[in-house]
Amino acid sequence: MSERLMRRALALAARGLGRTSPNPAVGAVVARGDVIVGEGFHRRAGEAHAEPIALGHAGEAARGADLFVTLEPCCHHGRTPPCTEAIIAAGIARVFFAMRDPDPRCAGGGEAALRAAGVAVEGGLLQAEAGRLLAPYVKHRRTGLPLVTLKLAMSLDGRIATRTGDSRWITSERARRLVHTMRDRADAVMVGVGTVLADDPALTTRGVPGGRDALRVIADRGARTPATAQVVVQESPARCVIAAGAGASPERVRALRAAGAEVLALPATETGVDLRALAMVLGERGVLSVLLEGGGRLAWGALAAGMVDRVALFYAPIIIGGADAVPAVGGLGVERVADALRLSEMTVTHVGPEWLVEGAIEGVGR
């Protein structure tokens, strides 16, 4: 019974992904026995947290009831009052939470405050599941950096475009719909300027009920993104950020800013913008999750910089061939197989005619 109720809280929390940053996506359920009498989830930063919403729905039925919440209730004043105060005032008898809050302002303090008020507390219920859901929040609180997922769609022989640059469409409509769901749940979507010049993508979220656009980020050392590119001029509540090198053409920078883009002046490396510096800027702005969609050179640059935490690789049942076709991961690569980046926590899922391989990059700090 307890696991069923916590799974409901996790499902509610997932509805806030991509919308609550820099806060975590949290869900809560109030139950009397196995009957749910109130539930809620955090919708966006600055608004009510999951616990007060669920308690409000439950009303007087919350007195003596159990509360299931995906993250340890907060005990500090932010834009909203501490959730521990609302829980105590509502007369909740027991609190079950999935994982402890890594935020140093809480980090066990919520549990302690509840126990001091006579509320029974049990932590760790479905902790692994909650950890996967909250991985971007956990990494951000521990490192100040967003969690980065590298998404690539390729042929079975690892090509993302033919020798002429043609890439539409390597994967099926079903796989592309799933990518839009990924965008909907990410705080930011990032590509390299090569992808912008070759494909002119909008990087918006389409076909997702209730979907929203993520922040669009272009890694573009020379500010070569056209001021007329879709990613710049597309009507969207989400901003477009061009991460340019400090030495980029002032004229190009002015044109991009005049078109509505924000242009950052960041340190540059031999191969492009300093991606670690870019990650720091995004983290400072409260971006918890980034969906990195390529192209090949940016993919290798991010991998080599240790910026990528997870991968989502779509393999289409086609073979493109050709030494001049565009590889999914470009750059120099490693010199020895022993130095190759390795995956753990791997899963393989059938998505329409494609296979989706997901996993974590071993050795990347979280």
Buried b (16+ CB within 10 A) or exposed e, 304-336: bbbbbbbbbbbbbeeebeeeebbbbbbbeeeee
H or E element at residue 351: strand 343-351
The set of residues, in sequence order, having a beta carbon less than 8 Å from that of 164 and lying 6+ positions away, is none
Token pair for 102: 């890594």
Rounded CA-CA distance 62/66 in Å is: 8
SS3 3: helix
CA 275 to chain centre: 17
Rounded Cα–Cα distance for residues 306 and 150 (Å): 12
Provide CB contacts within 8 A for 128, sequence distance 6+.
none
Which of 51, 72, 111, 293 is labelled catalytic?
Answer: 51
Q: Is 293 a catalytic residue?
A: no
- Distance between CA atoms of 304 and 283, rounded to whole angstroms? 19
Tell me the catalytic residues.
51
